[in-house]
Amino acid sequence: MDESFTSDDSIDIGDNIRTPDEVKREALQQDTRTEYEKQIEEAINLSSMEFREKEIKNKKFEEEIIANYYKVSNERKEQFREFLFDLGKLIRFDNETKEIYEIIEPIIDSYCNQFIENCELDEVTYERIFKGLKGIRTNPKNIELLKKILICNIYNG
């Protein structure tokens, strides 16, 4: 028994179709604003756009400043990494080196974090630091770099 659909079979689909929606007509209302009100709205829109543009520009500028700060700080820290490591090994055994380290480490940290570009020291402290560093095995460029930061202030009073 083959029960296939034939064209003789009629299906009543009239009850399942929804009636079409009613056609609506809408008309735009006339713009009843005065010319002054239109100009104010346009000025507000322009001002908002200018504000957003300036905000984006300022945000990009801030991001550049911050990125540059981190770049310079990391470069400076890398310059002093080896030197501070060499001193760190010695401060456990040598009190004079430990005292020198306690003087210059905060100065180097301030330089690396860009709080200062150089530090003026009195002549006695300056001489003590560099006389003490002469006996330390480290790269001579580290001492020269430190000399660029530490400046001897000779007082002629």
Question: What is the rounded CA–CA span in Å between residue 89 and residue 153?
Answer: 30
2: left (phi over 0), alpha (psi -120 to 50) or beta: beta
pLDDT at 47: 95
Question: Is 21 among the domain residues?
Answer: no
Per-residue pLDDT for 65 more than 70? yes
Question: Is 23 among the domain residues?
Answer: no
- Structural domain total, the chain: 1
Question: Is 22 among the domain residues?
Answer: no
Per-residue pLDDT for 11 more than 60? no
74-87 pLDDT, tens digit per residue, is 999 999 999 899 88
Domain that holds residue 131: 34-153
Question: Is 15 among the domain residues?
Answer: no
Question: Is 60 among the domain residues?
Answer: yes
The residues, ordered by sequence, that sit 6+ positions from 58 with a Cβ below 8 Å of its Cβ are none
pLDDT at 64: 97
Per-residue pLDDT for 43 more than 80? yes
Cβ atoms within 10 Å, residue 100: 22
Q: Structure pTM?
A: 0.65
Per-residue pLDDT for 148 more than 60? yes
